[in-house]
Structure 1
């Protein structure tokens, strides 16, 4: 697994994530089933959408090796984005 540090800014401040941190602390379900590719995809999704998984704005979930991990955005993210839209 890569130990590459990904740094980016969120609405709550700067964030640093490593693949090992994601696997150790941020996976819901069976951590041992998550692949390196799924972890990197999750990190890049968080980076691109400026989500902070430590604040539960995004979740990486995997229970079955037959299926890919699910990446879920928390409902509060959508509510926060909607409240910043003047048409909402």
Structure 2
């Protein structure tokens, strides 16, 4: 934890106002970088849908391709269709 006076804090805040969020923050002699995720996932946005990783995004594109070709069909994704039925009631 960094201890600083009110004046030092205000000076640091004024200095950081102009920096974009992607730049590492330098406070004193330490550089604070955003910690990488555990599995090094990179968030992606495909067709206005956010995915937590590139792998999820690729799988979505594969399934969308299959659906467009007619090789994959499920009635539960169509508007107006009933939900999945329950085998055991």
TM-score normalised by structure 1 residue count: 0.23
Structure 1 or 2: more strand by fraction? 1
TM-score normalised by structure 2 residue count: 0.23
**Structure with the larger RCO, 1 or 2 (CA within 8 Å, 6+ apart):** 1
User: Bigger radius of gyration, 1 or 2?
Assistant: 2
Structure 1 or 2: more helix by fraction? 1
